[in-house]
A and B are shown apart, each in its own frame.
Chain A
Amino acid sequence: MELLVDPLFRIPFVTGLCLSLLLPLLGAYLRLRDEWLAALGFVHLGGAGGVIGSVVPWPPLATALGAAALGVGLRSTRRRAGNDGYAVMILAGWAVMILGASLDHTARVMGQALIDGQLYFTGNAHVAAVATFALCLGALLPALSRRLLRARLMPGFDAVNGSSGRLDTLLFTALTAFGVTLAAMSVGVMAAFALTFIPPWVAFRVAISWRGALALATLAGAVAFTASFVVALLVDLPFGPTLVAVLVLLAALRAVRRPPG
């Protein structure tokens, strides 16, 4: 039990807790836009960047974020939202990540860390990056929220007055890319995706208002993270798969409410 209060684990805990609060928020808007596959696309692209950074060698976190920025640039060339581009991103990112990891020992360790989600290796650079991301999300999301919701429900509302919504899409895609890439480099590829996908999936079924859905998704993310952190540390399990398993169990909460229609 002393492990839980060991100063060594404070930075990993704070980093992961912040991500577990922020990623479900992004995931709710991704789900609203039918673009939830974007999370899986960007985690693979970021993972590929991290592995390439280990091979070259460049700082892995910075290289992963650079790869995410490249993905944002590619996404901005497509006018319509859709999952096809993200599917290609997943496949390309996975191939580069696995092939890159076969090239040398450091890259193999990085690849393994991305699979296992070794949160305990996060350091000050991760905390600083997550804090910066939290500030950006806090500043931009409240302003974007209404327009993103309108774009889903009333696509003509802003377009009829000459606003294409492309800037909103670009900003939101950039937030998604940087958020899930940071998460992939901290909690692992699949855990980052699960944090983005499952809490909003539960909230979309259960909540009776948009604010309620956001609150429920963040709460679910934070509870799942904290439980996983404690279990993985006490039982000595790899953190990433533990978090994914807890989130999958949490998905059973969807049964609380009957499907609409």
Chain B
Amino acid sequence: MGRRLLTISNLIAGYREPMVGPVSLTVRAGERLGITGPNGCGKSTLLRVLAGEARAFAGRIAYAPGVHAVCQAQDGLRTGEIPLNVMDCLHLTSDSPLPLPERLRGTERQRLDALSGGQRQLLAVWMALSAPRQLLLLDEPTNNMDPAGREDLIRALTDLPAHRGALIVSHEQALLEAVCQRIENIGG
């Protein structure tokens, strides 16, 4: 296992009032850490604190020097009538994005608003995976995904390069067991 990318110490987080914690964890390069727990226990709130969308009441969050993170939102890519195609989206996070997974092949020039919910979700994760950032923060990445998309995702996460680490929040135990070396249960 490589160097520490992210250290969270005694974090108590929530919105108007605390709803999760205290939580302490570390993510190292080459590591995929899963966070699970019952619905409403505050799993996603942990990631939202990192994105500035929830509040830290106590504790400490520290990225290692020079480490940058990329965050995939739980609700996937917001749509509506929008003239961005799949390649446009991938180029928003990377100048040289990863090749498309099997489930998205042939959709390169397809508009975002013409994709299915599962394809959009896979694209959102792929945008995060393509970003040249060391720490990957994924929130319920398999939401709306069909089995083929899920397989693509599992392959990509297990093949993550050694200099990158991932913090994966999911209620899907089977996914976490398939891709993570460690699983933490919070609020359980």
Interface residues of A (CB under 8 A from B): 32, 146, 149-150, 152-157, 159-161, 164, 203-213, 259-261
Interface of B is mostly: mixed
Q: Is the CB of A156 within 8 A of B114?
A: no
Q: Is the CB of B92 within 8 A of A213?
A: no
Q: Is the CB of A210 within 8 A of B84?
A: yes
Q: Is the CB of B52 within 8 A of A159?
A: yes
**Min C-beta distance of B79 to chain A, whole Å:** 8
Interface residues of B (CB under 8 A from A): 47, 50-53, 68-73, 77-79, 81-85, 87-89, 92-93, 109, 111, 113-114, 124, 127-128, 131, 137
Name 16 interchain pairs, CB-CB below 8 A, sorted by A: A32-B82, A146-B92, A154-B72, A157-B92, A157-B131, A160-B51, A160-B70, A203-B83, A204-B81, A206-B83, A208-B83, A209-B84, A209-B87, A209-B88, A260-B79, A261-B113
**Min C-beta distance of B102 to chain A, whole Å:** 23
Q: Given the complex, which residues of B lie within 8 Å of A261, measured CB to CB?
A: 113
Contacting A150 at CB < 8 Å: which of B53, B92, B137?
Answer: B92
Contacting A152 at CB < 8 Å: which of B71, B78, B128?
Answer: B78
- With both beta carbons as reference points, the residue of chain B lying nearest to A214 in the complex is identified as B83
Q: Is the CB of A160 within 8 A of B137?
A: yes
Q: Given the complex, which residues of A lie within 8 Å of B77, measured CB to CB?
A: 153-154
Q: Given the complex, which residues of B lie within 8 Å of A207, measured CB to CB?
A: 83
- With both beta carbons as reference points, the residue of chain A lying nearest to B49 in the complex is identified as A160
Q: Is the CB of A157 within 8 A of B70?
A: yes
**Min C-beta distance of A90 to chain B, whole Å:** 23
Q: Given the complex, which residues of A lie within 8 Å of B68, measured CB to CB?
A: 161
Q: Is the CB of B84 within 8 A of A149?
A: yes
Q: Given the complex, which residues of B lie within 8 Å of A260, measured CB to CB?
A: 79, 81, 111, 113-114
**Min C-beta distance of A30 to chain B, whole Å:** 13
Q: Given the complex, which residues of B lie within 8 Å of A205, measured CB to CB?
A: 81, 83
Q: CA separation between A160 and B83, bound complex, in Å?
A: 26
Q: Given the complex, which residues of A lie within 8 Å of B137, measured CB to CB?
A: 156, 160
**Min C-beta distance of B93 to chain A, whole Å:** 7
